[in-house]
Amino acid sequence: KLIPKDRWEFLWLTGFPLFEWSETEKRWVSAQHPFTGIIEEDLDKLESAPWELRSKGYDLVLNGVELGSGSIRIHRQDVQARVFRALGLSD
């Protein structure tokens, strides 16, 4: 037992991958959806190392149970266009 039954232990999970490799499509696809924000310090890797990008997605967990999840969206048109191009979508 990792958490005693008499305790409430909350956890924020962050830093999820932005992209994942699709074996069937042989390309990078969005791990959540194509509007999820990117950690700013990772932006320079968008075209060169998409597997290293971390998203602004999050989960809130209580004693091992997911209570909620979400993400901060992309708010810049230039970044959104770059993500669409990386996914092979038109911008």
Q: How far is residue 48's CA from residue 60's CA, in Å, rounded to a whole number?
A: 31
Domain ranges of the chain: 30-91
- 16 backbone dihedrals φ, ψ, rounded to 5°: -65, 150
Helix (H) or strand (E) holding 78: helix 77-86
- pLDDT tens digits for range 37-57: 999 999 999 999 999 999 999
Contact 9, 62 (CB under 8 A): yes
Question: How many Å from the N-terminal Cα to the C-terminal Cα in the chain?
Answer: 49
Print pLDDT tens along the chain (91 aa). Answer: 677 788 899 999 999 999 999 999 999 999 999 999 999 999 999 999 999 999 999 999 999 899 999 999 999 999 999 999 999 987 6
For residue 36, the model assigns a pLDDT of 97
Q: How far is residue 68's CA from residue 81's CA, in Å, rounded to a whole number?
A: 28
